[in-house]
Amino acid sequence: MAASPAVLEQLRARVAPVALAGERTFPAPTVLASVLSRQHIVRGHSMATAGPLATTTAAQLIAPAVAEGAWVCLLQIPTIGLDALSECGVALERVVAVDGPTTRWAELAAAAVDGFDVVLTTLPDGLRPGVFRRLVDRVRRRGAVLVVLGEPPAGCAVDVVVRSAAPQWSGITAGAGHLRSCSVELSIGGRRHGGQRRQRVDISGPARHE
């Protein structure tokens, strides 16, 4: 849907009564918990997923939060596949997709952070670092979780970056068959991680958490 801040405010009023404002963490998916330094995702943190499986990794990250009642705003990601989100266990009835001109991204993002538990977005080209830092500060104050698809540009630091590399698919032989599983090398970095943590994990199927 195309949305203005006024429309997002109406959505915020609808989801706020059931948003999880009192909870300070969301469970981390089991498949990523061994890589993350914490066994949960902290509200108020900014995150990014990068690499060839950035979208799948992001879906795995947010699925347990949605399962516990979180509302998600997909902001200006027209290419994202809702089927892919569903396959990772994201309940689509708690997802709102919002479009709008990239020139108004900062305004729309601020409104989304005010009204949703999780905001999943891409960063527009030419975004000024100062604009992004103000949004990150807003995320921290509001207790939302911001997930950026793609490698954050210079000056746009986030708390946690999950990078995927070297995916290995199984289940297809000589162009036939069905995909059964995918393993990928994940590394964790960002401001909240002093050193890189790296591990190969299987990210096939719906996200699960303990």
The answer to whether residue 78 sits within a structural domain is yes
Tens of pLDDT, residues 114-125: 999 999 999 999
Determine the pLDDT at residue 18.
Answer: 47
Total of domains in the chain: 1
Q: How far apart are CA 132 and CA 77, in angstroms?
A: 17
CATH of the domain at 134: 3.40.50.300
pLDDT class of 147 with cuts at 50, 70, 90: very high
Q: What are phi and psi of 98, to 5 degrees?
A: -125, 125
pTM for the full model?
0.86
* Biggest CA-to-CA distance, the chain: 53
Which residue segment(s) compose the domain that 70 sits in? 5-202
Listing DSSP states for 93-139 in one string gives GGEEEEB--GGGHHHHHHHHHHH-SEEEE-PPTT--HHHHHHHHHHH
The answer to whether residue 209 sits within a structural domain is no
Amino acid identity of 37? S
Tens of pLDDT, residues 3-26: 555 666 666 655 554 454 445 899
Structure tokens at 209: 């958490």
